Chain A
Amino acid sequence: MKNKIQKIMQDELAKEILTFFYQNQSSVDSVSGISTWVSNERKDVELALEELVKLGVVEEDSTGSAKGYSYTRDEKIMKIVKKLMSDAQ
Chain B
Amino acid sequence: MERLFSKFKDNWESKEEARALKKYLKNPAWIFLPCAPRKIEDLKNTQIPRHIIKPHTDRKKVRLELKKILGAIKRSKRKKALEQFQYDERSFGASFPLVLPAGIFGFLIICPLKKKMSSEFQNIFTSFVNVAIRETCKEIELEDINRTVRPRAIALSTVHTVHRLMMSTLDLNELLPRVARLSLQVIRANRCSIKLVDKKRKVLLPRATIDLRKEKTKLKKVQIGKYAPGRAVKHGRPIRGKNYLAYPMIDEDVVGVITLYDKLDGSNFTQFDEDIMKTLSEQAGIAIKNAQLFKEQTDLTLGSIKCIAYLLENRPHGVHRAEASFLKLISIIGPKFNMNESEIKMLQYAAMLHDAGQIGIPEKLLMKNKGLTGREYDIVKTHPLKGAAVFSKFKPLKPIIPIMLYHHENFNGKGYPKGLKGRDIPLAARILGVVGAFESMITDKPYRKALSIPAAINEVRKNAGIQFDPDVVNVFCCAVKRRDVEKLLKKELGVHCEK
Interface residues of A (CB under 8 A from B): 24-30, 33, 36-37, 59, 61, 63-66, 68, 70-71, 73, 75, 78
Contact with A along B147-170 (1 / 0, CB 8 A): 000010011011011101100110
Verify A66–B185 contact, CB threshold 8 A: no
- Cα-based distance from A81 to B35 in the complex (angstroms): 46
B residues whose Cβ falls under 8 Å from a Cβ of A? 151, 154-155, 157-158, 160-162, 164-165, 168-169, 174, 178, 181-182, 184-188, 212, 264, 276
| Pick from A28, A63, A65: contact of B185, CB under 8 Å | A28
Q: Is B181 within 8 A of A61, CB to CB?
A: yes
Residues on B with C-beta less than 8 A from A59 are: 185
Give the residues in chain A near B186, CB-CB below 8 Å.
Answer: 26, 28
Are A25 and B162 closer than 8 Å at their CB atoms? no
Q: SS class of chain B's interface: helix, strand, loop or mixed?
A: helix
Q: Which residues of B contact A33 (CB under 8 A)?
A: 157, 160-161
Please report the C-alpha to C-alpha distance between residue A59 and residue B157 in the assembled complex, in whole angstroms: 17
Evaluate contact between A26 and B182: CB separation under 8 angstroms: no
CB distance from B305 to the nearest CB of A (A): 26
Most buried by A among B162, B165, B168: B165
Shortest beta-carbon contacts, A-B, top 7:
A66-B164, A33-B157, A66-B168, A63-B168, A68-B161, A70-B185, A28-B158
Q: List 19 A-B contacts (CB under 8 A).
A: A26-B155, A26-B185, A26-B187, A26-B276, A27-B158, A28-B158, A28-B162, A29-B157, A29-B158, A36-B157, A61-B178, A63-B169, A63-B174, A64-B168, A65-B168, A68-B164, A68-B165, A70-B185, A73-B188
Q: With A26-B186, A63-B165 in contact, is A73–B158 under 8 Å at CB?
A: no
In the complex, the answer to whether A24 meets B182 with C-beta atoms within 8 Å is no
Partner of A25, one of B164, B165, B169, B188: B188
Select which of A25, A28, A37, A75 is within 8 A of B182 by beta carbon: A28
User: For the complex, what is the distance from the CA of A25 to the CA of B189, rounded to whole Å?
Assistant: 11
Instruction: State the Cβ distance, A61 to closest chain B Cβ, in Å.
Output: 6
Residues in B neighbouring A61, C-beta threshold 8 A: 165, 178, 181-182
| Distance A61 CA – B178 CA, assembled complex (angstroms) | 8
Contact flag A73-B154 (CB < 8 Å), given A26-B185, A63-B178 = no
B154 touches A27 (CB 8 A): yes
Q: Cα distance A40–B157 when bound, in Å?
A: 17
Residues on A with beta carbons closer than 8 Å to the beta carbon of B212: 73, 75
B188 touches A26 (CB 8 A): yes
Measured in the bound complex, the distance between the Cα atoms of B181 and A37 in whole Å is 23
Q: Which residues of A contact B184 (CB under 8 A)?
A: 73
- Find chain B residues with CB under 8 A from A73 CB: 184-185, 188, 212, 264
Residues of chain A within 8 A of B187, CB atoms compared: 26
